[in-house]
Structure 1
Amino acid sequence: MRVTGTGRAAATVLALATWGLAGCGQGSSPQSAAAPPPPEVGVVTVTPGRADLSADLPGRLEAFRVAQVRARAAGILNRRLFTEGSDVKAGQPLFEIDAAPYRAALASAQAQLARAEANLLQAQALADRYAPLARSQAVSQQEALNAQAAAKQAAADVASGKAAVQTAQINLGYATVTSPIAGRIGRALVTEGALVGQGEATPLAVVQQVDRLYVNFTQSAAEVMRLRQALVEGRLQRSGNGESARVQVLMEDGSVYPQAGRLLFSDLSVDANTGQITLRAELPNPQGLLLPGLYVRVRLAQAEVAGAVWLPQQAVARGATGDTVLVIADDGSISARPVKLGPAQGGKALVLDGLKAGEKVIVDGLQKAKAGGKGRPVPWSPAGAASTPVPASASAASK
Structure 2
Amino acid sequence: MKVSRVRGLACALPFSLLAVLALSGCGGKEDEKKGPPPIPEVGFVTVRTQSVPLVAELAGRTAAYETSEVRPQVSGIIKARLFTEGTVVREGQTLYQIDPRLYRATAAEAQANVASARAAETAARVRADRLRPLAQIEAVAQQDYTDAAATAAQARATIAQNRAQLDTAQINLAFTRVPAPITGRIGRSLFTTGALVTASQADPLTTIQRLDPIFVDIQQSSAELLTLRRALASGGVVPTSGTVRLKLEDGSDYGRTGTVQFAEVTVDQNTGTVTLRARFPNPDGLLLPGMYVRAILAQSSDTNAILVPQAGIARDPKGQATAFVVGPNNKAVMRVVQTSRTIGSNWLVTGGLKPGDRVITEGLAKLKPNQTVRPVPAGSKPRAQPAPAGAAQPKGN
Matched, 1:28 2:30: yes
Q: TM-score, normalised by structure 1?
A: 0.81
- The amino acid across from 2:343 in the alignment is Q
Q: Secondary structure at the match of 1:90?
A: coil
Counterpart code for 2:297 = L
The letter of the residue matching 1:88 is V
Q: Does 1:236 align with 2:237?
A: yes
Distance in 1 between residues matched to 2:375 and 2:193, nearest whole Å:
79
Relative to structure 1, the CA distance from residue 106 to residue 202 in structure 2 (aligned partners, 3 Å threshold; closer, same or farther) is farther
Q: Could you tell me whether the CA contact under 8 Å between 1:57 and 1:218 is conserved in 2?
A: yes
Give the deviation of 1:203 after TM superposition.
0.9
1:209 positional shift = 1.8
Q: How does 1:369-380 map to 2 (within 5 A)?
A: 369-376=367-374
SS at match of 1:192: coil
Relative to the length of structure 2, the TM-score reads 0.82
Q: Deviations over 1:216-269 (max 9, x none)?
A: 2222222222222222222322324xxxx3333222344443433333333334
- Paired residues for 1:1-399 under 5 Å: 21-32=23-34, 34-39=35-40, 41=42, 43-197=44-198, 199-200=200-201, 202-240=203-241, 245-318=242-315, 322-328=320-326, 332-346=330-344, 348-357=346-355, 359-376=357-374
CA distance in 2, matches of 1:146, 1:301: 80
Mark the runs of 5 or more structure 1 residues left unpaired by the alignment. 3-9, 382-388
Shift in alpha-carbon separation, 1:365–1:252, aligned structure 2, 3 A: farther
Cα RMSD (Å) of the superposition? 3.3
Deviation by residue 1:187-238 (Cα, 9 ceiling, x = unmatched): 2221222111265365111111221222222222222222222222223223
5+ residue gaps, structure 2, are: 5-11, 386-393
Aligned residues: 375
Q: Distance in 2 between matches of 1:321 and 1:199?
A: 66
Q: How far is the alpha carbon of 1:15 from its aligned partner?
A: 9.3
Q: Percent of pairs identical after alignment?
A: 43
- Cα distance in 1, alignment partners of residues 156 and 374 from structure 2: 106
**Shift of residue 183, structure 1, vs aligned partner:** 1.8
Q: CA separation in 2, counterparts of 1:100 and 1:221? A: 59
Aligned residue for 1:237, secondary structure, equals strand
- Structure 1 position 107, deviation (Å): 1.3
Contact 1:211 1:286 in 2 (8 A): yes
Q: Is the 8 A contact 1:53 1:343 kept in 2?
A: no
Aligned to 2:390: none
CA deviation after TM superposition for structure 1 residue 92, in Å: 1.6
1:86-135 alpha-carbon deviations (Å, 9 max, x no partner): 22222121111121221121111111111111111111111111111222
CA distance in 2, matches of 1:15, 1:325: 54
* DSSP-derived class of the 2:166 partner: helix
Per-residue CA distance 1:307-330 (angstroms, 9 max, x = gap):
423233343235658533112359
Q: 1:239 to 1:129 in 2, by over 3 A?
A: same
Distance 1:78 1:362, change over 3 A: farther
C-alpha change, 1:18 and 1:35, in structure 2 (3 Å) is: closer
Question: Equivalents in 1 of 2:323, 2:253: separation in Å?
Answer: 32
Instruction: Tell which deviates more after alignment, 286-295 or 100-109.
Output: 286-295
Alpha-carbon spacing, 1:273–1:201, altered in 2? closer, same or farther (3 Å): closer
Local SS of the residue matching 1:344? strand
Q: Is the 8 A contact 2:81 2:95 kept in 1?
A: yes
State the partner residue of 1:5. none
One-letter amino acid matched to 1:214: F
**Aligned partners of 1:307 and 1:352 also within 8 Å:** no
Alpha-carbon contact 1:80-1:192 (below 8 Å) kept = yes
SS of the residue aligned with 1:227?
A: helix
Q: Which amino acid aligns with 2:325?
A: V
SS at match of 1:343: strand
Displacement of 1:69 after TM fit? 0.7
